[in-house]
């Protein structure tokens, strides 16, 4: 292949995709197996042109894409892969730094530490916390539970009934017992009475279903009084702390032993990029550090592989660094503030309109609502809205009732997109 020529074509493909992503169906309009049936069963024996890859990307893969970069992607937590981060991913793959020990990539190791510290400052977190990047919040929380178990010698995890499923999965993988606590009227985890045998309390700031905020301060105090570790899962909402006015939800986070925030959720960085900090770096490191002879060096520097499960580490800091520099903190704040404004606007339409109900307090950039009627009717409404290709939302359950979630998080989303979503919902509801 001709790297320059094919590279230019790939970049052109990327630019054209981003220009027209607005016109593509948001949810993939294919059936399971439809793409598989079109793909060769075996790899080619003879080399092909890179152009053939781009052609199949257009003809075969494009129809099977759910377009996460669409401005009317309102599902799960909507995300953005920003242009500087896209280019940084290209460069990271070019450089292929595998930061297993410091000398294997001084650049990746040191940039990651520095960028984690930049974000720590932007979020208003305490000095002295040690931050690094894992692939996902699932892995970051896994690491926190490992550290908590190592430090406390206990085997129980406590979280809210609305904590993300990754907490349950992590506990299960570790063979730890999980206790789920009930929530109050505002969907906040109740502070458990007896934590005497607990290794880790996981508090969530911005739950997946409702973006509710657990009482971190009270949970931290109770955890510490009982000798337990307090881990905060702010995978989604933590990014909002770059805005001073959103720091209400960070109350008590300074007491945490560890914290996860995902720049790949709401800080314009493509998957995967999950930041995890700990206030107890020495103890955290003891849970993971292990140096076989083939990795031993006499460098007076440390290796980030000593802070988490994987040995090989991608150059993820490059895309975070590029995004922070090209947008600047003010640029990122403006985007998050607009998302929050749009969510408030949508929530106001729901509240003012007959036939619609806001089912949970509106928080951050998420709105949880439903149409008057049965669960089956709401389910059918969601099916029709998503099938339209004009927008994509998902559902959750509150007290057994089927409810709809509209999550705003794409940097391309404008007020016109949110208005269109409201129109599509009303149109399909009235059909
Ligand atoms: C609150 C919360 N925690 C954790 C996760 C898991 O994130 P990841 O996909 O990075 O593992 C999610 C995903 O949406 C989430 O909403």
The pLDDT tens digits of the residues spanning 88-134 come to 999 999 999 999 999 999 999 999 999 999 999 999 999 999 999 99
Q: From the CB of 266, is ligand 1 less than 6 Å away?
A: no
128: buried, middle or exposed (CB in 10 Å: 19+, 13-18, 0-12)?
exposed
Rounded mean pLDDT of the chain? 97
402: buried, middle or exposed (CB in 10 Å: 19+, 13-18, 0-12)?
middle
Which of 79, 159, 166 maximizes ligand 1 atoms within 8 Å of its Cβ, making it the mutation to test the pocket? 166
How many angstroms separate the alpha carbon of residue 176 from the centre of ligand 1?
A: 20
Distance between CA 191 and CA 194 in Å, rounded? 9
How many angstroms separate the alpha carbon of residue 164 from the centre of ligand 1?
A: 6
Distance between CA 121 and CA 116 in Å, rounded? 9
Q: From the CB of 137, is ligand 1 less than 6 Å away?
A: yes
Q: Residue 302: its pLDDT value, please?
A: 82
Q: From the CB of 405, is ligand 1 less than 6 Å away?
A: no
Segment holding 233, helix H or strand E: strand 229-233
Lateral strand order in the sheet of 366-371? 356-358, 366-371, 401-407, 394-398
How many angstroms separate the alpha carbon of residue 167 from the centre of ligand 1?
A: 9
Residue 301 has pLDDT above 90, yes or no: no
- Mean pLDDT, to the nearest integer, of 402-410? 98
Q: From the CB of 364, is ligand 1 less than 6 Å away?
A: no
Residue nearest to atom 9 of ligand 1 (CA): 136
Residue nearest to atom 7 of ligand 1 (CA): 137
Residue 353 has pLDDT above 90, yes or no: yes
Kindly list the distances between the CA atom of residue 87 and the CA atoms of 143, 315, 397, 405, in Å, as whole numbers in the listed order: 29, 13, 39, 32
Q: From the CB of 70, is ligand 1 less than 6 Å away?
A: no
Residue 69 has pLDDT above 90, yes or no: yes
- Mean pLDDT, to the nearest integer, of 1-23? 97
C-beta separation of 234 from 262 below 8 A: no
The values of phi and psi at residue 102, to 5°, are -55, -50
Q: From the CB of 75, is ligand 1 less than 6 Å away?
A: no
Both tokens of 168, joined, read 């349950």
Both tokens of 353, joined, read 């309109």
C-beta separation of 167 from 157 below 8 A: yes
Residue 431 has pLDDT above 90, yes or no: no
Confidence grade of residue 25 (pLDDT, cut at 50, 70, 90): very high
| Beta strand extents in 80-197 (DSSP E only) | 130-134, 156-160, 177-181
Q: From the CB of 140, is ligand 1 less than 6 Å away?
A: no
Q: Residue 300: its pLDDT value, please?
A: 83
Q: Residue 63: its pLDDT value, please?
A: 96
Q: From the CB of 239, is ligand 1 less than 6 Å away?
A: no
Crossing angle, helix 106-122 and helix 317-352, to 10 degrees?
30
Residue 48 has pLDDT above 90, yes or no: yes
The minimum-distance atom of ligand 1 relative to the CA of 237 is 1
How many angstroms separate the alpha carbon of residue 337 from the centre of ligand 1?
A: 21
Q: Is the peptide bond before 272 cis (omega within 30 degrees of 0)?
A: yes
Crossing angle, helix 375-387 and helix 415-430, to 10 degrees?
130
Both tokens of 254, joined, read 């300074």
- Mean pLDDT, to the nearest integer, of 162-189? 97
Which of 137, 204, 209, 210 maximizes ligand 1 atoms within 8 Å of its Cβ, making it the mutation to test the pocket? 137
Q: Residue 153: its pLDDT value, please?
A: 98
Both tokens of 15, joined, read 């630019």
Both tokens of 298, joined, read 């006499």
How many angstroms separate the alpha carbon of residue 210 from the centre of ligand 1?
A: 13
Distance between CA 229 and CA 279 in Å, rounded? 11
Could you write out the DSSP letters of every residue in 351-410?
HHSTTEEE-S--BTTEEEEEESS-HHHHHHHHHHHHHTSS-B-EEEEETTEEEEEEE---
Q: 3-state DSSP call for residue 257? A: coil
How many angstroms separate the alpha carbon of residue 75 from the centre of ligand 1?
A: 13
Distance between CA 276 and CA 206 in Å, rounded? 16
Q: From the CB of 77, is ligand 1 less than 6 Å away?
A: yes
Residue 221 makes CB contacts below 8 A (sequence gap 6+) with 255
How many angstroms separate the alpha carbon of residue 428 from the centre of ligand 1?
A: 30
Residue with structure tokens 């493509």?
Answer: 270
How many angstroms separate the alpha carbon of residue 207 from the centre of ligand 1?
A: 9
Q: From the CB of 68, is ligand 1 less than 6 Å away?
A: no
Distance between CA 351 and CA 358 in Å, rounded? 6
Q: From the CB of 166, is ligand 1 less than 6 Å away?
A: yes
The minimum-distance atom of ligand 1 relative to the CA of 206 is 1
Select from 329, 160, 319 the least CA-distant residue to 241.
329
The minimum-distance atom of ligand 1 relative to the CA of 135 is 10
Select from 372, 305, 382 the least CA-distant residue to 75.
382
């Amino acid at each position: 292949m001709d790297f320059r020529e094919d590279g230019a074509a790939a970049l052109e493909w990327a630019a054209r995709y981003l220009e027209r992503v607005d016109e593509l169906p948001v949810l993939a309009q294919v059936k399971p197996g439809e793409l598989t049936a079109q793909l060769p069963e075996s790899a080619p024996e003879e080399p092909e042109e890179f152009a053939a890859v781009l052609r199949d990307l257009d003809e075969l893969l494009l129809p099977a894409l759910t377009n996460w970069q669409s401005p009317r992607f309102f599902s799960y937590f909507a995300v953005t892969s920003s242009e500087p981060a896209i280019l940084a991913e290209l460069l990271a793959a070019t450089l292929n730094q595998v930061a297993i020990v410091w000398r294997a990539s001084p650049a990746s190791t040191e940039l990651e530490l520095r960028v984690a510290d930049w974000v720590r400052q932007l979020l208003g977190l305490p000095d002295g916390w040690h931050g690094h990047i894992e692939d996902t919040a699932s892995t970051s929380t896994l690491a926190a539970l490992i550290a908590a178990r190592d430090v406390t010698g206990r085997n129980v995890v406590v979280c809210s009934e609305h904590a993300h499923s990754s907490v349950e999965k992590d506990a299960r993988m570790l063979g730890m017992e999980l206790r789920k606590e009930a929530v109050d009227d505002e969907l906040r985890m109740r502070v458990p009475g007896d934590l005497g045998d607990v290794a880790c309390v996981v508090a969530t700031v911005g739950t997946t279903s409702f973006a509710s905020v657990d009482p971190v301060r009270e949970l931290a105090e109770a955890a510490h009084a009982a000798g337990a570790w307090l881990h905060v899962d702010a995978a989604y909402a933590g990014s909002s702390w770059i805005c001073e006015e959103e720091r209400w939800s960070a109350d008590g986070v300074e007491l945490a032993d560890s914290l996860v925030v995902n720049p790949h959720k709401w800080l314009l960085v493509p998957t995967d990029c999950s930041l995890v900090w700990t206030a107890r770096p020495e103890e955290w490191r003891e849970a993971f550090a292990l140096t076989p002879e083939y990795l031993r060096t006499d460098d007076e520097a440390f290796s980030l592989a000593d802070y988490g499960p994987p040995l090989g580490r991608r150059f993820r800091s490059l895309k975070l660094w590029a995004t922070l520099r090209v947008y600047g903190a003010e640029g990122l704040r403006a985007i998050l503030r607009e998302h929050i404004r749009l969510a408030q606007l949508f929530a106001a339409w729901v509240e003012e309109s007959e036939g619609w109900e806001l089912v949970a307090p509106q928080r951050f950039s998420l709105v949880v609502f439903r149409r008057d009627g049965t669960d089956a009717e709401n389910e059918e409404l969601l099916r029709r809205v998503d099938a339209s290709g004009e927008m994509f939302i998902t559902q959750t359950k509150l007290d057994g009732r089927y409810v709809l979630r509209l999550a705003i998080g794409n940097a391309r989303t404008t007020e016109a997109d949110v208005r269109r979503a409201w129109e599509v919902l009303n149109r399909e509801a009235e059909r």
